Every structure is written in C-alpha cells, then in structure tokens.
Amino acid sequence: MKKVGLIKLLLGIGLAASGALALGSALNNKKAEVVEAGTTKTLYINVFDGGGTWNNFSYYLFGGSGGENAGWPGVAFTNSMKTATPNEYDQYQYKLTVDTSVYPKLILVGNPSNWGGSQAQTDNLVIDDMPNNGIYCGSQIPNSNKFEVGYYGYTTKTVYMLDLAGNVYNSKHYCHTFATGKSGTTWPGVSMTKVAGQNNLYSAEINSALGNVIFNNNGSNETATISSVSDGDSYIIYPDNGFNKTTLDAASFIDKYMKFETKWLDDSGTGQCKASGWYSSAKSAFSSKTSSQKSKILEHEPTKYRMQDWAKANGETFNISTGAFSSSNSILPVISKNNSNTVALIVIISLVSVTAIGGFFFIRKRKVN
C-alpha cells in the first residue's frame, strides 16, 4: 500500500471515529417525549348558595355508552372526594374525574337548606363544552327547581420537601398551606406523599392560589413561613428547622445519590463510596446534568464537599467551583460518555494525532525522494 493511501486511510478512520462519537453523544442525550390523548376530564365542584348548606348532594352522569352511573339522583358526593387543600377562600371542592366518552353529560342534584329542603338540580351539563374545569353552584333560577352554575379555573401545584438525613421529621412529613389573610389547611396540614424511586423526598399537591407553606413534623419542628411558593419548588429541610430552596432536579439528585441518610461516627463507613459504588454512580449522574443543573446542585454545600471527599478517596479530584472531575495523576479530565466537552476534546486529540502521523509520512517521503 502506498504511503499516501495510508495517510488517507488514517484520516478517514479519524473522521469516522469523530462522527461516531458525535452521533453517540446525540443518541445518549436524546429525550423521548410521549403525548397521550385521553377523554377523561377532572372537575372541581364548589358547593355554595348564598350561605345555605347542601344536603344529599350527588352527581348524575348519563348520555353515552355507559348509560347512567346510577339511578336518579345519581351517586352521593363523599368527604373522601374533597380536595386535600382548600382554595384561597378556605373552601374545599369535590374532585370528580369523568370519562366523557362513557358519560358525556352531568346533572348536579341537592337539597339546599335555604330553599326549604326541596330537591334542586342543574340543567343538563355537557362536560366537554364546559368553559373551565371548576364549577360552582349559584342562585336558584326563578320559578323553577333549578339552580345556576358558574365556571372558574381550578389548578393545582406540587411542592417538594427533602428530609436530608431521613430522620429530621421521623417519617411524619406535613405541609400546611394557606393564603395571606386566610387560614388554609387545618393545622398541621396535609400528610405528604413519598416520591417513588427516592429515599427521603416528599410531595404535596395544593391549590395554586395558596402561596404560603409551613413544613412540620405533624405539628412540631415547623419551619418559618415560606412565601411565594410556585409549582415544582423544592426545599431541603435541616434539623434546626431551616430550609434551603432548590430545584426538584437538584433535590432528587442529592436524595438519590449522596447518601446523607447513612451516617457514621468514625472511618468505618467512609470506604462505602468506593466499595459500594456510591461515588461512581453519583459521578455519572452528576456528569449527565446541564450546566445550570450542576450549578444548583453545587449550591448545596454538604453535597459539593462530600463529592470532593469521595473523589479524593477514589484517586480523583472534584472542582467544587466548576463541577469538573479529573484524575489526580493526569492533566486530562476524566472521560464521561455524557460529557459533550470531553467528546469534543477526544475528537480534537484524534484529529491532531492523525495530522501528525500524516505529516511524519509526508516528510519522510520527501526525504526519500
């Protein structure tokens, strides 16, 4: 084979390798999005009629393939169907989820006390034609046994709380929510739900209009009032009732990979970051994060210093300012399959190497001639 042909072959191999690396990186970082269509609709029904109370309040579904959900006047609403948290007016709603392909129409039925206890109902309500998902029962329609309905937008938001060591609240994680000037949930609030796949991360769904939150241990060890809470906000709770606001992504990473629930008082447990693979898992997960996600994780000081200690125990270094890993014995960064900067560095090194080899053979050929 001619030397020129060899140079072309080497260049071709280098370009093919760089292309494969770039393609692999793109495939690793691709996120699949699945959108599922459905016919279900969730309604939030608020019952009031100018101060009176309602008795025997029920819902009658009909008009589709399901026939009717029950004989008239339908199925009674129960306390178990009420929302966990009230709205900004301290009112609870009944939550009703309906498959509109089975039951497209709804009638609300009840016995309002200030109407003398006689049965009253709405007109036939077409669920898919409702302008919003919230319904409130209004005034009596004159000269009839029917009452008006109005519509409003009802939305919820989810807040998260990370019990960092796993025992700050001793598995009694509560979220009290309220609006300024309103009492909100009955103290100590709603019991929070453990997030699947996590160790000590908990969530609570609350009315979107409630802007204030107090986390507590079923009535004790409560935090100060946390105001202006938005959907998806996450808070790390400390034993002194303090808290650190973060993102859900950062809280999830800290909870799942940094093992703060495992404690030791001497050196007997420090080797677990290596023996049990804690460091390698945390390093891989951290390296896959975006720059903004890494920055948010590093705002939590116990995490960044623990990662630094783990790296040292594994013969590497971790830069707590930049979030970069490197070998203690090398000036090159540790390779991560999800690190686009590292992929680019490998491609550059490959091209430089191929060019150097090609130059060597070219110069050698000229000397021979």
Residue that finishes a domain, picked among 109, 124, 152: 152
Whether 212 and 248 share a structural domain: yes
State the SS3 of 218-281. CCECCCCCECCCCCCCEEEECCCCCEEEECHHHHHHHHHHCCCCCCCCCHHHCCHHHHCCHHHH
Per-residue burial over 66-83, b if 16 or more Cβ lie within 10 Å, else e, is eeebeeebbeebeeebeb
Is the per-residue pLDDT at 18 higher than 50? no
Q: How confident is the model at residue 5 (pLDDT cuts 50, 70, 90)?
A: low
Q: How confident is the model at residue 274 (pLDDT cuts 50, 70, 90)?
A: confident
Query: What is the per-residue pLDDT for 355?
Result: 53
CA distance 87 to 80: 17
Q: How confident is the model at residue 152 (pLDDT cuts 50, 70, 90)?
A: very high
Is residue 211 domain-resident? yes
Query: What is the per-residue pLDDT for 20?
Result: 41
At 312-335, the pLDDT tens digits run 999 999 999 999 999 876 444 444
Query: What is the per-residue pLDDT for 204?
Result: 97
Whether 82 and 7 share a structural domain: no
- More confident: 260 or 328: 260
| Average pLDDT value for residue range 240-269 | 83
Is the per-residue pLDDT at 16 higher than 60? no
At 107-123, the pLDDT tens digits run 999 887 777 668 889 99
Whether 345 and 294 share a structural domain: no
Our count of domains for the chain comes to: 4
CA distance 302 to 287: 18
Whether 187 and 228 share a structural domain: yes
Whether 141 and 171 share a structural domain: no
Whether 173 and 224 share a structural domain: yes
Whether 144 and 83 share a structural domain: yes
Mean pLDDT of the residues in the chain: 81
Whether 250 and 285 share a structural domain: no
Q: How far is CA 215 from the centre of its chain?
A: 18
| Average pLDDT value for residue range 198-219 | 95
At 55-109, the pLDDT tens digits run 889 999 999 998 999 999 999 999 999 999 999 999 999 999 999 999 999 999 9
Here the contacts of 333-342 (C-beta below 8 Å, separation 24 or greater) are 334/283, 336/283, 336/284, 336/287, 336/288, 337/24, 337/25, 337/28, 338/25, 338/28, 338/29, 338/284, 338/287, 338/288, 339/287, 340/25, 340/29
Is residue 37 domain-resident? no
The mean-pLDDT minimum among 36-50, 163-177, 324-338, 347-361 falls in 347-361
Whether 194 and 219 share a structural domain: yes
The domain containing residue 168 runs over which residues? 156-257
Whether 289 and 222 share a structural domain: no
| Average pLDDT value for residue range 222-241 | 93
Whether 127 and 66 share a structural domain: yes
- More confident: 220 or 138: 220
Is residue 277 domain-resident? yes
Cα 194–Cα 301–Cα 256 angle in degrees, nearest 5 = 30
Q: CA end-to-end span of the chain, whole Å?
A: 17
